[in-house]
Amino acid sequence: MVSAVFHNPLGTAEPVIDVPATDLAVSPTPARRSVKKPTPAAVASKPQLDLTWLWLGCLPPLLGLGLLVLLWELVSMGTAASIPSPKDTLVQAISLFSDPFYNNGPNDQGIGWNIYSSLKRVAVGFGLAAVVGIPVGFAIGRFSFLSRMFNPLISLLRPVSPLAWLPIGLLVFKGANPAAIWTIFICSIWPMIINTAVGVQRVPQDYMNVARVLNLSEWKIVTKILFPAVLPYMLTGVRLAVGTAWLVIVAAEMLTGGVGIGFWVWDEWNNLNVKNIIIAIFVIGLVGLILEYILIKIATAFTFEEVKN
C-alpha cells in the first residue's frame, strides 16, 4: 500500500494521496487515461530496481521516523510520562480519529471540524490574497514606475510578523474570524506579489520581441506569453504563501479562539491533555505537507522548460 510513495518526500506519511500512484506503478498496463511517462519506465525497470528502491527510497525515511519515535519514547520515560509515550498517543489518536466529526457545541468539536475550519480560513484569506496579489504583482512587474513606487512599501511591510496585524484586524473587522482571515491575507500576499513581479520582469526579451514583431494584442501577450512564462514563478509564490499561511493560522487561532486546529491545541493545553497536543502537532505537519505536495505537483505540471518532457 505504501509501495508507490518512494520517490516523493512524503515517505510513509500519507497513504491517502498515493493510491493513484500505486495503481500506476503496480498494475502492468492500466490503459485508462493517456499513458503517462512514469508508467512504462516503472514497469520496465521494476524487477531490477526493487532492491535499490528498498535501500534508498524506503529504508532511510523509515529509519528517520523510527529514530523520532525512539527519542520520543526516551523523553517520555525521562519525564515520567508527563510527556505521553508514543504508544499511548497512538491509542488516543485512534480513538480521536474514529469520530472526527462530532459536535458538542462550539468548544467541543471533532478534530475533523477543527482542521476543516482552519483550512477554510486559510483558503479564504489565501484566496483573497491571490486575487489581489497576483494582479498587483503583474502590474508591478510590467511597469517600472509602479515597481519603484511600491518596492519601498513592500520592503517595509513584508518583514512584519503577520501576528502584529491581528490587532488591526480585530479593530477593523470587529470579529475573531475575519481578523484571522485578515492575518492570513496579509502574510500570503507578499510572496505572491513579489514572485509574480519577478516572474514578469524575467520574461525573456526574446519572447517579448516575438510579441512585438507579430504585433500581438495586449490580450494575446498576456494569455500566450506573459501568463505561461510567469506561471512557474507565480506558483512558487503561491507555494510559499500557503506554507506561511498554514504556519500563521495556528498562531492566529490560538489568539482568536473559536473552532480551529490552533485553538484546539490551546484548549487541550488548558485541559492539560498533552497527548492531543502531540497529535495536533502531527496533524498540522501532515496537512502542511499535503498542501505543499499538491502545489509542487501543480507547479511541475505547468513548468515548461526546454528540457522538460
Partner 1 sequence: MHTSLSTKYIEIQGVEQTFKTKKGPFCALKDIDLTVAKGEFVALIGHSGCGKSTLLNLLAGLTTPTEGTLLCANREISGPGPERAVVFQNHSLLPWLTCYENVYLAVERVFSKTDNKTQLKERTDAALTMVGLTAAAQKRPGEISGGMKQRVGIARALSMQPKVLLLDEPFGALDALTRAKLQDELLQIVATTQSTVVMVTHDVDEAVLLSDKIVMMTNGPSATIGEVLEVKLARPRNRVALAESSQYLGYRKAVIDFLYTRQSHVEKTA
Distance from CA of residue 109 to its chain's centroid?
24
Residue type, 214: L
Nearest one of 115, 74, 157 to 291, comparing CA atoms: 115
Terminal Cα-to-Cα distance of the chain (whole angstroms): 28
Q: How near is the Cβ of 230 to partner 1 at its closest, in Å?
A: 11
Please give the grid coordinates belonging to residue 259: 473552532
Nearer to partner 1, 98 or 306 (CB): 306
Nearest one of 205, 190, 182 to 236, comparing CA atoms: 190
Nearer to partner 1, 62 or 301 (CB): 301
- Regarding 218 and contact with partner 1 (CB under 8 A), the answer is no
Nearer to partner 1, 95 or 305 (CB): 305
Angle, vertex CA 144, rays to CA 140 and CA 147, nearest 5:
45
From candidates 7, 36, 148, 212, binder to partner 1 by CB under 8 A: 212
From candidates 215, 218, 219, 272, binder to partner 1 by CB under 8 A: 215
Segment 169 to 208, residues that bind partner 1, using CB under 8 A: 206-207
Q: How near is the Cβ of 304 to partner 1 at its closest, in Å?
A: 4
**Could you tell me the sign of the dihedral formed by the alpha carbons of 31, 35, 41, 44, in that order?**
positive
- Regarding 46 and contact with partner 1 (CB under 8 A), the answer is no
- Regarding 16 and contact with partner 1 (CB under 8 A), the answer is no
Distance from CA of residue 286 to its chain's centroid?
10
Interface ranges with partner 1 (CB under 8 A): 206-207, 209-210, 212-216, 220, 224-225, 228-229, 304-309
